[in-house]
Structure 1
Amino acid sequence: MNQPFSKKKRFSFFENIDNLFVVSVALLLMGGMVMMTSASMPVAARNFADPFHYFYKQGFAACLGLIVGFLFFLIPTNFWEKLGILTALIAIGLLALVYIPGMGLEANGAIRWVDIGPLPTIQVIDPARFLLIIYIAGYCFRQQKQVEMTFLSLIKLMIFILPACILLLLQPDFGSTVVLLAIVASLFFVAGFKFRYFFVLLLSLASVFWLLVYKVQYRLDRITSFLDPWADPLGDSYQLVNSLIAIGSGGWFGVGLGESMQKLGYLPEAHTDFIFAVIAEELGLIGVVLIIGIYALLIWRIFSISLHAMKHNRVFQGYFAFSVGIWITAQVVVNIGVNMGVLPTKGLILPLISYGSNAMTMTLITLFIVLKIGCENPVIKANRRI
Structure 2
Amino acid sequence: MSTLMTRSRGAVRVAAREPAQPVNTMLLMMLMLTGIGLVMMTSASMEIGNSQMGDPLYFFKRQVFFIIVGLCLVAVALKIPMRLWYQASAPLLAVAILLLILVLIPGVGTVVNGSARWLDLGFYRLQPSEMTKVFMVFFMAAFLSRRREEVQLSWSGFLKPMVIMGGAVVLLHFEPDHGAMVILMATTFTLLFLAGAKLHRFMFLVMLCFAAFAWLAISKPYVINRLTSFLNPWAAEYVYGEGYQLTQALIAFGRGEWFGVGLGSSIQKLYFLPEAHTDFVLSILAEELGLAGVLVVLSLFCILILTAFRVGRAAEAQQNYFNAYVAYGLAMIFATQVFINFGVNTGLLPTKGLTLPFLSYGGNSLLISFFMIGVLMRIDYELTNGSSAMEQEDAA
- Please give the TM-score of this superposition, normalised by the length of structure 1: 0.92
- Tell me what 1:5 maps to: none
* CA-atom RMSD in angstroms: 2.0
Greater shift, 237-246 or 192-201, is seen at 192-201
Specify the SS of the correspondent of 2:162: helix
Of 112, 115, 118, 1:110 maps to: 115
- Tell me what 1:347 maps to: 353
Aligned mates of 1:168, 1:51 — CA distance in 2: 34
Question: Is 1:78 equivalent to 2:83 in the alignment?
Answer: yes
- Tell me what 1:176 maps to: 180
- Tell me what 2:379 maps to: 373
Per-residue deviation at 1:337? 0.7
Structure 1 residues 19-50: Cα deviation after superposition (integer angstroms, max 9, x where no partner): 22221111001111111111111111111111
Aligned mates of 1:237, 1:361 — CA distance in 2: 31
Matches of residues 35-114 of structure 1 in structure 2 within 5 Å?
Answer: 35-114=40-119
Greater shift, 132-141 or 25-34, is seen at 132-141
Per-residue deviation at 1:140? 1.4
> What residue identity is the alignment partner of 1:37?
T
Tell me the matched-pair count. Answer: 373
Per-residue deviation at 1:9? 12
Specify the SS of the correspondent of 2:110: strand
Work out whether residues 117 and 128 of structure 2, in 8 Å CA contact, stay in contact via their aligned partners in 1. yes
- Tell me what 2:257 maps to: 251
- Tell me what 1:281 maps to: 287
Identity rate, percent:
36
Specify the SS of the correspondent of 1:189: helix
Taking CA–CA contacts closer than 8 Å with sequence separation of 6 or more, which of the two structures ends up with the larger relative contact order? 1
Question: Is 1:298 equivalent to 2:304 in the alignment?
Answer: yes
Per-residue deviation at 1:365? 0.8
Work out whether residues 115 and 121 of structure 1, in 8 Å CA contact, stay in contact via their aligned partners in 2. yes
Gaps of at least 5 residues in structure 2 are 1-15, 390-396
Work out whether residues 129 and 180 of structure 1, in 8 Å CA contact, stay in contact via their aligned partners in 2. yes
Question: Is 1:156 equivalent to 2:160 in the alignment?
Answer: yes
Specify the SS of the correspondent of 1:106: strand
- Tell me what 1:140 maps to: 144
Matches of residues 307-322 of structure 1 in structure 2 within 5 Å?
Answer: 307-322=313-328
Work out whether residues 185 and 202 of structure 1, in 8 Å CA contact, stay in contact via their aligned partners in 2. no
Q: For the structure 1 residues 381 and 102, does the alpha-carbon distance in structure 2 shift closer, same or farther, using more than 3 Å as the test?
A: closer
Per-residue deviation at 1:18? 5.8
Aligned mates of 1:238, 1:9 — CA distance in 2: 61
Q: For the structure 1 residues 257 and 223, does the alpha-carbon distance in structure 2 shift closer, same or farther, using more than 3 Å as the test?
A: same
Work out whether residues 141 and 316 of structure 1, in 8 Å CA contact, stay in contact via their aligned partners in 2. yes
Per-residue deviation at 1:104? 1.1
Specify the SS of the correspondent of 1:135: helix
- Please give the TM-score of this superposition, normalised by the length of structure 2: 0.90
Work out whether residues 18 and 374 of structure 1, in 8 Å CA contact, stay in contact via their aligned partners in 2. no
Aligned mates of 1:352, 1:342 — CA distance in 2: 22
Of 196, 202, 207, 2:206 maps to: 202
Specify the SS of the correspondent of 1:337: helix
**Structure 1 consecutive aligned stretches of length 4 or more whose deviation exceeds 4 Å:** 8-11
Structure 1 residues 192-222: Cα deviation after superposition (integer angstroms, max 9, x where no partner): 0011112222222222223222321111211
Aligned mates of 2:95, 2:17 — CA distance in 1: 38
Structure 1 residues 292-348: Cα deviation after superposition (integer angstroms, max 9, x where no partner): 111111111111111111111110111011011111111111101111111001211
Aligned mates of 1:259, 1:123 — CA distance in 2: 33
Aligned mates of 1:374, 1:339 — CA distance in 2: 33
> What residue identity is the alignment partner of 2:347?
G
- Tell me what 1:236 maps to: 242
Specify the SS of the correspondent of 2:81: coil
